[in-house]
Amino acid sequence: MEFMNTDRLRIAFRQHGDMQGEPIFLLHGWPDDMHTWDGVLPYLAGSGYRLIVPSLRGFGETRFLDHATPRSGQLSALAQDLLDFAAALGIERFNVVGHDWGARAAYNASLLAPERVMRCMALSVGWGTNDPNQALSLHQARNYWYHWYMATDRGAEALRKERREFALLLWRTWSPSWHFGEGVFHDTMHAWDNPDWVDVTLHSYRHRWGLALPDPHYAMQEARLRHESVISVPTLTLHGTEDGANSPQTSEHREHLFSGPYHRALLAGVGHFPQRENPGAVADALLAWLRRG
Whole-prediction pTM: 0.97
Mean pLDDT of 91-118: 98
Asked if residue 143 has pLDDT above 80, the reply is yes
**pLDDT tens figures, 233-275:** 999 999 999 999 999 999 999 999 999 999 999 999 999 999 9
Q: What percent of the chain has pLDDT over 90?
A: 96
The yes-or-no verdict on residue 51 having pLDDT over 80 is yes
Cβ atoms 293, 142 nearer than 8 A: no
What is the per-residue pLDDT across 67-86, written as a single tens digit (0 to 9) for each?
999 999 999 999 999 999 99
- Each domain of the chain, given as residue ranges in start order, spans 2-290
Instruction: Tell me the C-alpha distance between 12 and 73, whole Å.
Output: 17
In this prediction, residue 135 carries a pLDDT of 86
Q: Which CATH topology does 2-290 take?
A: Rossmann fold (3.40.50)
Query: What backbone torsions phi and psi does residue 242 show, to the nearest 5 degrees?
Result: -110, 20
pLDDT of residue 181: 84
Q: Cα separation of 248 and 35, whole Å?
A: 24
pLDDT, position 130: 78
Query: With helix as H, strand as E and coil as C, how does the chain read?
Result: CEEEECCCEEEEEEEEECCCCCEEEEECCCCCCHHHHCCCHHHHHCCCCEEEEECCCCCCCCEECCCCCCCCCCHHHHHHHHHHHHHHCCCCCEEEEEECHHHHHHHHHHHHCCCCEEEEEEECCCCCCCCCCCCCCHHHHHHCHHHHHHCCHHHHHHHHHCHHHHHHHHHHHHCCCCCCCHHHHHHHHHHHHCCCHHHHHHHHHHHCCCCCCCCHHHHHHHHHHHHCCCECCCEEEEEECCCCCCCHHHHCCCHHHECCCEEEEEECCCCCCHHHHCHHHHHHHHHHHHCCC
pLDDT in tens, 153-176: 999 999 999 999 999 999 999 999
pLDDT-derived band at 131, boundaries 50, 70, 90: confident
Mean pLDDT, rounded, of the chain: 96
Are 76 and 218 in contact by the 8 Å Cβ rule? The answer is: yes
Q: State residue 293's pLDDT score.
A: 60
pLDDT of residue 129: 79
pLDDT at position 134: 84
Is the pLDDT at 194 greater than 80? The verdict is yes
pLDDT value for 23: 98
Distances (CA, A) of 229 to 74, 191, 263: 17, 32, 17
